[in-house]
Amino acid sequence: MSMFPLVYDLTKQVDGLEQFPVYDLLVNVLGTVIGTALLATVSFLAIRFIRSRPIVKLVRRSNDKDLDSFLDLYETIIDEDTRISSEEIVSWIDEDRVARRKAENKIFHYLWLCKVYGKVIGFAKVIYHSGSRLLFVAYFGIDNENAIGRRTAAKTIIAHLRWKLTTDRVLRSCQGIVAECEKPDSNMPTDEKRRKKARIRLFFETSKRMSTPMYVVDFDYIQPTMPVGGFDETAEEKLALLYIPVKSRDGKKTISKNQLLSVVSFVYLNVYGPTYRHDKKKDKQYKRYLMALLGKYESSLPKQIRLLS
Protein backbone atom coordinates (compact mmCIF):
# COMPACT_ATOMS: atom_id res chain seq x y z
CA MET A 1 0.00 0.00 0.00
CA SER A 2 1.28 3.45 -0.92
CA MET A 3 1.85 6.04 1.79
CA PHE A 4 -0.32 8.35 -0.40
CA PRO A 5 -3.86 6.79 -0.43
CA LEU A 6 -5.21 9.24 -3.02
CA VAL A 7 -2.55 8.24 -5.55
CA TYR A 8 -3.15 4.56 -4.71
CA ASP A 9 -6.90 4.89 -5.28
CA LEU A 10 -6.43 6.66 -8.61
CA THR A 11 -3.95 4.14 -10.02
CA LYS A 12 -6.03 1.21 -8.74
CA GLN A 13 -8.82 2.19 -11.11
CA VAL A 14 -6.67 1.36 -14.15
CA ASP A 15 -7.45 -2.33 -14.88
CA GLY A 16 -4.50 -4.64 -14.45
CA LEU A 17 -2.03 -1.95 -13.53
CA GLU A 18 -1.51 -3.42 -10.06
CA GLN A 19 -0.24 -6.67 -11.68
CA PHE A 20 2.94 -5.00 -12.96
CA PRO A 21 6.07 -5.21 -10.72
CA VAL A 22 6.62 -1.47 -11.01
CA TYR A 23 3.16 -0.67 -9.72
CA ASP A 24 4.12 0.10 -6.12
CA LEU A 25 7.19 1.98 -7.31
CA LEU A 26 5.05 4.10 -9.64
CA VAL A 27 2.58 4.89 -6.88
CA ASN A 28 5.33 5.93 -4.49
CA VAL A 29 7.09 8.06 -7.12
CA LEU A 30 3.86 9.87 -7.97
CA GLY A 31 3.13 10.33 -4.28
CA THR A 32 6.61 11.73 -3.67
CA VAL A 33 6.25 14.19 -6.57
CA ILE A 34 2.88 15.42 -5.33
CA GLY A 35 4.11 15.59 -1.74
CA THR A 36 7.19 17.55 -2.76
CA ALA A 37 5.08 19.95 -4.81
CA LEU A 38 2.71 20.49 -1.88
CA LEU A 39 5.62 21.05 0.49
CA ALA A 40 7.22 23.51 -1.93
CA THR A 41 3.93 25.39 -2.31
CA VAL A 42 3.40 25.59 1.45
CA SER A 43 7.00 26.73 1.95
CA PHE A 44 6.65 29.39 -0.76
CA LEU A 45 3.42 30.72 0.76
CA ALA A 46 4.93 30.71 4.25
CA ILE A 47 8.03 32.62 3.10
CA ARG A 48 5.86 35.08 1.16
CA PHE A 49 3.69 35.64 4.24
CA ILE A 50 6.74 36.21 6.45
CA ARG A 51 8.31 38.61 3.93
CA SER A 52 5.03 40.53 3.69
CA ARG A 53 5.16 41.32 7.40
CA PRO A 54 7.13 44.50 8.25
CA ILE A 55 10.22 43.83 10.33
CA VAL A 56 12.66 46.20 12.05
CA LYS A 57 16.41 45.68 12.03
CA LEU A 58 19.28 47.55 13.65
CA VAL A 59 22.11 48.61 11.35
CA ARG A 60 25.36 47.68 13.09
CA ARG A 61 27.96 48.10 10.34
CA SER A 62 28.65 50.56 7.53
CA ASN A 63 28.74 47.70 5.00
CA ASP A 64 25.20 46.55 5.82
CA LYS A 65 23.47 45.31 2.66
CA ASP A 66 20.43 47.55 3.29
CA LEU A 67 22.37 50.76 3.82
CA ASP A 68 22.24 51.95 0.20
CA SER A 69 18.48 51.42 0.10
CA PHE A 70 18.11 53.38 3.34
CA LEU A 71 20.28 56.26 2.09
CA ASP A 72 18.22 56.50 -1.11
CA LEU A 73 15.05 56.83 0.97
CA TYR A 74 16.73 59.19 3.47
CA GLU A 75 17.89 61.57 0.74
CA THR A 76 14.48 61.43 -0.96
CA ILE A 77 12.19 62.22 1.96
CA ILE A 78 14.36 64.36 4.27
CA ASP A 79 14.87 67.88 2.92
CA GLU A 80 18.48 68.70 2.04
CA ASP A 81 18.52 71.76 4.29
CA THR A 82 17.47 69.74 7.35
CA ARG A 83 19.61 66.60 7.08
CA ILE A 84 23.24 65.82 7.78
CA SER A 85 25.20 64.25 4.94
CA SER A 86 24.87 60.57 4.12
CA GLU A 87 28.60 60.21 4.78
CA GLU A 88 28.08 61.53 8.31
CA ILE A 89 25.25 59.08 8.93
CA VAL A 90 27.47 56.19 7.82
CA SER A 91 30.46 57.34 9.86
CA TRP A 92 28.38 57.33 13.06
CA ILE A 93 27.54 53.64 12.56
CA ASP A 94 31.16 52.51 12.87
CA GLU A 95 32.07 55.14 15.48
CA ASP A 96 29.17 54.00 17.66
CA ARG A 97 30.23 50.34 17.40
CA VAL A 98 33.73 51.22 18.59
CA ALA A 99 32.47 53.56 21.36
CA ARG A 100 30.18 50.89 22.83
CA ARG A 101 33.22 48.81 23.76
CA LYS A 102 34.38 51.53 26.17
CA ALA A 103 33.03 51.37 29.71
CA GLU A 104 32.88 55.17 30.00
CA ASN A 105 30.75 55.59 26.86
CA LYS A 106 27.46 57.42 27.49
CA ILE A 107 26.21 58.18 23.97
CA PHE A 108 24.54 55.45 21.91
CA HIS A 109 23.36 55.72 18.30
CA TYR A 110 20.60 53.53 16.87
CA LEU A 111 19.60 53.32 13.21
CA TRP A 112 16.51 51.15 12.79
CA LEU A 113 15.21 50.18 9.34
CA CYS A 114 11.70 48.92 8.68
CA LYS A 115 11.59 46.43 5.79
CA VAL A 116 8.95 44.50 3.87
CA TYR A 117 9.62 42.11 0.96
CA GLY A 118 13.29 42.99 1.51
CA LYS A 119 12.67 46.68 0.75
CA VAL A 120 13.34 49.52 3.20
CA ILE A 121 10.05 51.37 3.76
CA GLY A 122 10.89 53.40 6.87
CA PHE A 123 13.61 54.31 9.34
CA ALA A 124 14.36 55.94 12.66
CA LYS A 125 17.70 57.43 13.70
CA VAL A 126 17.86 58.07 17.45
CA ILE A 127 20.56 59.08 19.94
CA TYR A 128 20.49 58.05 23.59
CA HIS A 129 22.51 59.61 26.42
CA SER A 130 22.74 57.39 29.49
CA GLY A 131 23.84 60.30 31.69
CA SER A 132 20.64 62.32 31.22
CA ARG A 133 18.54 59.22 30.38
CA LEU A 134 17.05 61.00 27.38
CA LEU A 135 16.47 59.77 23.84
CA PHE A 136 16.60 62.18 20.90
CA VAL A 137 14.76 61.33 17.68
CA ALA A 138 16.99 62.78 14.98
CA TYR A 139 15.17 61.40 11.92
CA PHE A 140 11.95 59.46 11.45
CA GLY A 141 10.95 58.75 7.85
CA ILE A 142 8.31 56.70 6.03
CA ASP A 143 8.13 55.82 2.32
CA ASN A 144 4.67 57.20 1.48
CA GLU A 145 5.03 55.95 -2.09
CA ASN A 146 4.86 52.41 -0.75
CA ALA A 147 1.31 51.30 0.15
CA ILE A 148 2.47 48.96 2.93
CA GLY A 149 4.81 51.65 4.19
CA ARG A 150 1.99 54.17 4.49
CA ARG A 151 -0.16 51.69 6.45
CA THR A 152 2.30 49.90 8.68
CA ALA A 153 5.84 51.34 8.83
CA ALA A 154 5.24 54.03 11.45
CA LYS A 155 3.35 51.82 13.90
CA THR A 156 5.87 48.98 13.37
CA ILE A 157 8.82 51.24 14.24
CA ILE A 158 6.95 52.73 17.21
CA ALA A 159 6.10 49.25 18.51
CA HIS A 160 9.75 48.28 18.15
CA LEU A 161 10.88 51.37 20.06
CA ARG A 162 8.40 50.66 22.83
CA TRP A 163 9.69 47.09 23.09
CA LYS A 164 13.31 48.23 23.15
CA LEU A 165 12.60 50.70 25.94
CA THR A 166 11.75 47.73 28.18
CA THR A 167 14.22 45.11 26.91
CA ASP A 168 17.36 46.86 25.64
CA ARG A 169 20.18 46.87 28.22
CA VAL A 170 20.87 50.56 27.54
CA LEU A 171 17.48 51.99 26.62
CA ARG A 172 15.44 50.53 29.45
CA SER A 173 16.70 53.31 31.74
CA CYS A 174 15.26 55.99 29.39
CA GLN A 175 13.05 58.56 31.12
CA GLY A 176 12.07 60.78 28.21
CA ILE A 177 11.99 61.17 24.43
CA VAL A 178 12.86 64.49 22.81
CA ALA A 179 12.46 65.71 19.23
CA GLU A 180 12.61 68.94 17.24
CA CYS A 181 9.81 69.85 14.89
CA GLU A 182 9.24 72.70 12.48
CA LYS A 183 6.34 74.93 13.40
CA PRO A 184 3.57 75.23 10.79
CA ASP A 185 3.04 78.84 9.73
CA SER A 186 -0.17 80.26 8.29
CA ASN A 187 1.89 82.05 5.61
CA MET A 188 3.52 78.84 4.37
CA PRO A 189 2.53 77.15 1.09
CA THR A 190 -0.15 74.50 1.68
CA ASP A 191 2.09 71.52 0.88
CA GLU A 192 4.82 72.68 3.24
CA LYS A 193 2.34 73.39 6.02
CA ARG A 194 0.79 69.92 5.56
CA ARG A 195 4.21 68.26 5.74
CA LYS A 196 5.14 70.03 8.96
CA LYS A 197 1.79 69.22 10.57
CA ALA A 198 2.24 65.58 9.53
CA ARG A 199 5.51 65.34 11.48
CA ILE A 200 3.85 66.64 14.64
CA ARG A 201 0.98 64.17 14.13
CA LEU A 202 3.53 61.37 13.77
CA PHE A 203 4.95 62.15 17.21
CA PHE A 204 1.49 62.43 18.73
CA GLU A 205 0.78 58.99 17.26
CA THR A 206 4.03 57.76 18.83
CA SER A 207 3.00 58.98 22.28
CA LYS A 208 -0.50 57.54 21.85
CA ARG A 209 0.84 54.07 21.00
CA MET A 210 3.24 54.26 23.94
CA SER A 211 0.33 55.21 26.23
CA THR A 212 2.08 58.34 27.41
CA PRO A 213 1.36 62.04 26.72
CA MET A 214 3.40 64.19 24.36
CA TYR A 215 4.00 67.87 25.00
CA VAL A 216 5.22 70.88 23.10
CA VAL A 217 7.41 72.89 25.48
CA ASP A 218 6.15 76.46 25.44
CA PHE A 219 9.31 78.51 24.92
CA ASP A 220 11.41 79.89 22.05
CA TYR A 221 13.60 76.92 21.24
CA ILE A 222 16.52 77.65 18.91
CA GLN A 223 17.98 74.97 16.66
CA PRO A 224 21.74 75.69 16.54
CA THR A 225 23.59 76.33 13.31
CA MET A 226 25.16 73.20 11.84
CA PRO A 227 26.45 71.83 8.51
CA VAL A 228 23.70 69.96 6.64
CA GLY A 229 23.33 68.53 3.15
CA GLY A 230 25.32 70.54 0.66
CA PHE A 231 25.50 73.61 2.91
CA ASP A 232 28.52 74.59 5.02
CA GLU A 233 26.29 75.85 7.81
CA THR A 234 22.63 76.62 8.29
CA ALA A 235 21.22 79.62 10.13
CA GLU A 236 19.64 79.34 13.57
CA GLU A 237 15.96 78.47 13.39
CA LYS A 238 13.07 78.64 15.85
CA LEU A 239 11.54 75.18 16.19
CA ALA A 240 9.11 73.39 18.48
CA LEU A 241 10.71 71.14 21.10
CA LEU A 242 8.62 68.01 21.69
CA TYR A 243 8.86 66.00 24.90
CA ILE A 244 7.43 62.57 25.73
CA PRO A 245 7.96 61.46 29.36
CA VAL A 246 8.53 57.70 29.42
CA LYS A 247 8.55 56.91 33.15
CA SER A 248 6.55 59.77 34.68
CA ARG A 249 2.74 59.68 34.66
CA ASP A 250 2.13 62.61 37.02
CA GLY A 251 0.17 64.62 34.44
CA LYS A 252 1.98 67.88 35.23
CA LYS A 253 1.43 70.67 32.74
CA THR A 254 4.68 72.48 33.50
CA ILE A 255 8.37 71.69 33.53
CA SER A 256 10.82 73.39 35.84
CA LYS A 257 13.57 75.64 34.50
CA ASN A 258 16.26 73.25 35.75
CA GLN A 259 14.58 70.25 34.10
CA LEU A 260 14.25 72.10 30.80
CA LEU A 261 17.85 73.27 30.92
CA SER A 262 18.87 69.64 31.44
CA VAL A 263 16.85 68.59 28.36
CA VAL A 264 18.22 71.39 26.16
CA SER A 265 21.77 70.77 27.40
CA PHE A 266 21.40 67.12 26.37
CA VAL A 267 20.31 68.15 22.87
CA TYR A 268 22.92 70.87 22.40
CA LEU A 269 25.94 69.16 23.92
CA ASN A 270 25.32 65.49 23.09
CA VAL A 271 23.42 65.67 19.80
CA TYR A 272 24.87 68.83 18.21
CA GLY A 273 28.07 68.97 20.27
CA PRO A 274 30.07 66.33 18.33
CA THR A 275 29.35 68.01 14.96
CA TYR A 276 32.97 69.17 14.49
CA ARG A 277 34.62 66.35 16.45
CA HIS A 278 37.18 65.81 13.67
CA ASP A 279 38.30 69.46 13.63
CA LYS A 280 39.73 70.63 16.99
CA LYS A 281 39.59 74.33 16.20
CA LYS A 282 36.00 74.31 14.94
CA ASP A 283 34.98 71.92 17.71
CA LYS A 284 36.17 74.36 20.38
CA GLN A 285 34.46 77.33 18.71
CA TYR A 286 31.21 75.43 18.19
CA LYS A 287 30.98 74.23 21.77
CA ARG A 288 31.62 77.77 22.99
CA TYR A 289 28.73 78.90 20.77
CA LEU A 290 26.43 76.18 22.18
CA MET A 291 27.29 77.16 25.75
CA ALA A 292 26.43 80.79 24.90
CA LEU A 293 22.97 79.66 23.69
CA LEU A 294 22.46 77.75 26.93
CA GLY A 295 23.50 80.87 28.85
CA LYS A 296 20.69 82.83 27.18
CA TYR A 297 18.14 80.28 28.38
CA GLU A 298 19.65 80.35 31.86
CA SER A 299 19.09 84.09 32.10
CA SER A 300 15.70 84.35 30.38
CA LEU A 301 13.59 81.31 31.27
CA PRO A 302 10.97 81.57 34.04
CA LYS A 303 11.00 79.09 36.94
CA GLN A 304 8.17 77.06 35.37
CA ILE A 305 7.49 76.56 31.63
CA ARG A 306 4.18 75.36 30.27
CA LEU A 307 3.79 71.98 28.57
CA LEU A 308 1.22 72.17 25.76
CA SER A 309 -0.60 68.96 24.86
What local confidence, expressed as pLDDT, does residue 17 receive?
Answer: 46
State phi, psi for 62 to the nearest 5 degrees: -75, -10
304 has a pLDDT exceeding 90: yes
Q: Where is average pLDDT lowest: 49-53, 96-100, 121-125, 161-165?
A: 49-53
Q: Which residue has the higher pLDDT, 294 or 13?
A: 294
Q: Where is average pLDDT lowest: 9-13, 63-67, 111-115, 278-282?
A: 9-13
Mean pLDDT calculated for residue range 289-295: 95
Q: Where is average pLDDT lowest: 187-196, 203-212, 236-245?
A: 187-196
Give the separation between CA 190 and CA 159, rounded to whole angstroms: 31
Give burial (CB, 10 Å; 0-12/13-18/19+) of 13.
exposed
Q: Which residue has the higher pLDDT, 12 or 176?
A: 176
Q: What percent of the chain has pLDDT over 90?
A: 43
Tell me the pLDDT tens digit for each residue of 47-58: 454 556 789 999
Q: How confident is the model at residue 11 (pLDDT cuts 50, 70, 90)?
A: very low
Q: What is the pTM assigned to this prediction?
A: 0.77
Crossing angle between the packed helical segments 280-300 and 257-265, to the nearest 10 degrees: 170
Mean pLDDT calculated for residue range 261-285: 93
97 has a pLDDT exceeding 50: yes
* Under 8 Å between Cβ of 229 and 85: yes
Architecture of the domain whose range is 54-252: 3-Layer(aba) Sandwich (3.40)
Query: What is the residue-averaged pLDDT of the chain?
Result: 81
112 has a pLDDT exceeding 60: yes
Tell me the pLDDT tens digit for each residue of 223-234: 998 876 544 567
Crossing angle between the packed helical segments 190-209 and 154-167, to the nearest 10 degrees: 40
What is the CA angle 232-96-279, rounded to 5? 35
**What is the dihedral sign for C-alpha 222, 225, 228, 234?**
positive
33 has a pLDDT exceeding 70: no
